[in-house]
Amino acid sequence: MCLASQFAFATFNAVTGYFAPARTAAAIVLGVEAAVLGIGGALYLALGVVGEAGERELSLGMAALAAVCAVGLGLLSRGLARARRWALSPSITWQVLQGFVGAYALTAGSPVIGGIALGLALLGIVPLALLARSASGGEDL
């Protein structure tokens, strides 16, 4: 294992105080995204319960989808925080897909949601790219 990979995925060391800031930043961004999706799922659930009968199935389905995604992102965030390598690839994939959805939402007339999604994707992809580079041994990907 190369030295850069050891530092990128190292856990907090009480003696040296090293905590891998890229990994911590990526875990925080994914945690924020999980919380936002959880709140969105709760709002869709409330809309499904008190909304019109014709929209109930759609709202409950969106609530379930948001809940599954929020749980998945929470697990990815926990995996990154605990320096698990399995969490890196799905986290990068999520950020890329979220960036595309955010860019589409910006052009489709929903600038607030698109801006938030694109901003979080950009905030998340930078530390994840640093982690991927260090995990590959510093070689060009």
The full 3-state SS of 110-123, as one line of letters, equals: CHHHHHHHHHHHHH
Q: Which of 6-10, 32-36, 89-93, 115-119 has the lowest mean pLDDT?
A: 6-10
pLDDT at 11: 53
Helix (H) or strand (E) holding 24: helix 21-50
Domain membership of residue 28 (yes or no) is yes
Is position 125 within any domain?
yes
Considering Cα of 88, then 93, then 99, then 105, what sign does the dihedral take? negative
Number of structural domains (the chain) is 1
pTM to 2 decimals? 0.79
Q: Do 128 and 91 form a contact (C-beta atoms < 8 A)?
A: yes
For residue 17, being part of any structural domain is answered with: no
Is residue 69 domain-resident? yes
Which pLDDT tens digit goes with each residue over 29-60? 999 999 999 999 999 999 999 988 778 899 99
Its domain, for residue 86, covers 22-135
Distance, in Å, from the CA atom of 40 to the CA atom of 46, rounded to the nearest integer, reads: 10
Residue 127 covered by a domain: yes
Does position 93 have pLDDT exceeding 70, yes or no? Answer: yes
**Any domain includes 9:** no
- pLDDT band of residue 140 (cuts 50, 70, 90) is very low
Question: Has residue 2 been placed in a domain?
Answer: no
Beta strands in the chain (DSSP E): none
Residues 124-132: what's their mean pLDDT? Answer: 91
CA–CA distance, 14 with 99 (Å, rounded to integer): 36
Torsion from C-alpha of 118, 120, 126, 129, nearest 10 degrees: -90
Do the domain assignments include residue 129?
yes
79-115 burial: b if 16+ Cβ within 10 Å, else e = bbbebeeebbeebbebbeebbebbeebbeeeeeeebe
